[in-house]
Amino acid sequence: MAIKGNLKEASLPDVLQLLAMGQKTGCLSLTDRSNFGYIFFDRGRITYASIVNRRDRLGDLLVKNGLIQPAELAGAIDEQARDPAKSRLGEILIRRGAITREQLEQYIRIQIEEAVYYLFTWAQGSFYFEAEQRPDEGAMRVSINPENLLLEGARRIDEWSLIEKKIPSLDLVFEIDRTKPMAGLELSDEQQRIIPLTDGKRTVQELIDESGMVEFDVGKALFGLIQAGFAHPVGRRQAQVKEVPQARIDEHRNLGIAFYKTGMYDEATREFRRVAELQPRNLDARFHLALIGLRKGDDRFALRYLKEVVELGGARASVFHAMSLALERLGRMADARFAADEAARLAPRRPQVLLSRAILLLKLGEVHAAAEGFAAYREVLGSGRPPAAYYAFALLAEAAAGTAEAALRLGDEGIGHHPHAAAIYLHQGTVLERKGDWEGAEAMYRRATEEDGELPQAHKALGDALYRRGAYDEAAEGYGRAVGLNPRLGDDVYFRMGNIHYKRMERTQAVELWRKALEINPRNSVVRTNLELVESVLR
């Protein structure tokens, strides 16, 4: 079960203790609305942690502690840049003989601890824990008891609260007063490292980046110099009118993707819009904005950005595939068909594109074309296992094409592969009902409601089956659940609910339900006749 909350209401140390005591396994995602971090757990112990867009401190830690020389680090970074997807910095350094695996593991542990300590400083924002999530393949994992980090974390939180009073933003620029003598003063290693860099031009963030130290160490060192009167602020970095560095755009994109993956769509929208502003022809940002619109159910929002992608030259299959879905949900079926056809033309061997198109054709009533589409999808998929959606809709296409036995065989195969897919049971029941197997259909509908209690069509179908055999009380219960989930499910539901109340001699309730049926379908002459007869008696 997912755990989520606000960092103002539950601090990170409290959350860590909860996950440790519960021996949880999964990923804790945190954001302060401008940054994003992860902490992975395995049975209550921390195995990995990272912060999006935060400079990788591993190389800096190794240089700082004298294990490698700056030139060795630069060479390893250059090698990593040539193939960043496959090469990790630590593995490159081991392969070059610069460090041992034991040393790498030691400093990976320090790196992870520092990431957690930095997250401790976030006093606002939100967190989300998703069970059974693991770090990316190839990430070196450790095993740390969270309790061991809490004491040091609490100390840093206390110190950081004081540091923030003098250094409220990493965009501030400080300068060392060179007129004051420092000879004979006891300066920490961290202070000696940042003094040459504190020149009235570099921001605090640049001090962090160029010194190779973590935020806390730089903040503490600079705070001491400020308190002693050796450093003073000279302002903030003034915005420069120049091309935005790609690294800055990548930061916004990385944050956007992190927010998107964890369902924080408002924050993801903000980051991708920023990318689109900085790079007006960036197709990826607009495509992600469209995906966010689809996830949120805002199909017009999605279409706006999908059209921009196409206009900017991004006529890809994935764009038309998403466009088809948005248009279908808006009821623009002819346009959806065009988009689906275009997606299939651009990617004739992409299984998901073919499956979506086949389902759309079925909804349009093009039964034989849909059956051909499902067959093409299955051919392209090869030995892969189709998803539940394939079985749920392909069996309907077979039944509509007049091959009920083939449809039932397909449904049985789907149930074997996806025993908890409510839609397959629902549609299998529909085929059985058409064959006159009322008992089998009712059993399928009942199983569908058991597998997914939030599927209104399943409750309606079960209600219809119960109504047919005269089990009116149970039917009314099923209809009630159906309209509770979807009040506009259909006029026939309210018609039959009204009939049930009329049989119980509850005429007032029957009239109310029949009126709702007429609101949905004013052309239902049977309902209108019932209303006129009963209302004439009630007058």
Q: Cα–Cα distance between 144 and 113 in angstroms, integer?
A: 9
- Report pLDDT for 242: 46
Q: What's the pLDDT tens digit per position in 492-535?
A: 999 999 999 999 999 889 999 999 999 999 988 888 888 888 87
Q: Cα–Cα distance between 409 and 32 in angstroms, integer?
A: 52
pLDDT band at 240 (very low <50, low <70, confident <90, very high): very low
Residues forming CATH 1.25.40.10 domain(s) in the chain: 247-347
Q: Are 425 and 448 in contact (CB under 8 A)?
A: yes
pLDDT band at 389 (very low <50, low <70, confident <90, very high): very high
Residues forming CATH 1.10.10.10 domain(s) in the chain: 167-236
Mean pLDDT of 103-115: 86
- Report pLDDT for 237: 67
Residue 438 has pLDDT above 60, yes or no: yes
What value, to the nearest 5°, has the Cα angle with vertex 162 and ends 160 and 164?
A: 65
**Fold (topology level) of 247-347:** 1.25.40
SS3 assignment, position 168:
coil
Q: Cα–Cα distance between 30 and 120 in angstroms, integer?
A: 10
- Report pLDDT for 432: 96
pLDDT band at 378 (very low <50, low <70, confident <90, very high): very high
Residue 107 has pLDDT above 60, yes or no: yes
Check residues 87 and 199 and name the one with the higher pLDDT. Answer: 199
Residue 241 has pLDDT above 70, yes or no: no
Check residues 505 and 31 and name the one with the higher pLDDT. Answer: 505
- Report pLDDT for 2: 60
The DSSP secondary structure of 341-366, one letter per residue, reads HHHHHH-TT-HHHHHHHHHHHHHTT-
Q: Are 18 and 147 in contact (CB under 8 A)?
A: no
Name the E strands within 237-390: none
Residue type (1 letter), 30: L
Residue 264 has pLDDT above 50, yes or no: yes
Q: Cα–Cα distance between 420 and 467 in angstroms, integer?
A: 26
pTM of the model: 0.63
- Name the least confident of 156-170, 428-442, 480-494, 506-520: 156-170
**Fold (topology level) of 167-236:** Arc Repressor Mutant, subunit A (1.10.10)
